[in-house]
Amino acid sequence: MLPTDRVGLSIVYAIEGFVVYAEGFGYADLENGERMTSNHMMRIASISKEMTDAAISLLVANNKLGYNDHLFGKGGLLEGDFKNTSDVEKNRYLHMVTVDHC
């Protein structure tokens, strides 16, 4: 917590859906002295980037996904999941995005 000047941290570690470790550190509310617990809800912040990278790498390693797979457009992984992405002219750059870009 010190390098980032955070006053509180919550960790929950699970294996196959079962919590094996859960603990809060520091404060949820420093001004009021409320201690952090593993039950506090908060934003996941930048850690989501590392989690996404690990998930993508695992999918690629298991041949479920390729780094050159496109996300949008015809045949893209998210082909119909986003509004107005089917207009190729309007979204020509969007249709170039691959898994590797993420």
49-64 confidence digits (pLDDT tens): 778 888 899 999 999 9
Helix (H, G, I), strand (E, B) or coil at 47: helix
Q: What are the residue boundaries of the structural domains of the chain, listed by start? A: 1-42, 46-102
71-95 confidence digits (pLDDT tens): 887 788 887 666 666 666 777 788 7
Q: How confident is the model over 5-29, as a mean pLDDT?
A: 88
**pLDDT tier, 45 (very low <50, low <70, confident <90, very high otherwise):** low
Contacts of 39 (CB under 8 A, 6+ apart): 24
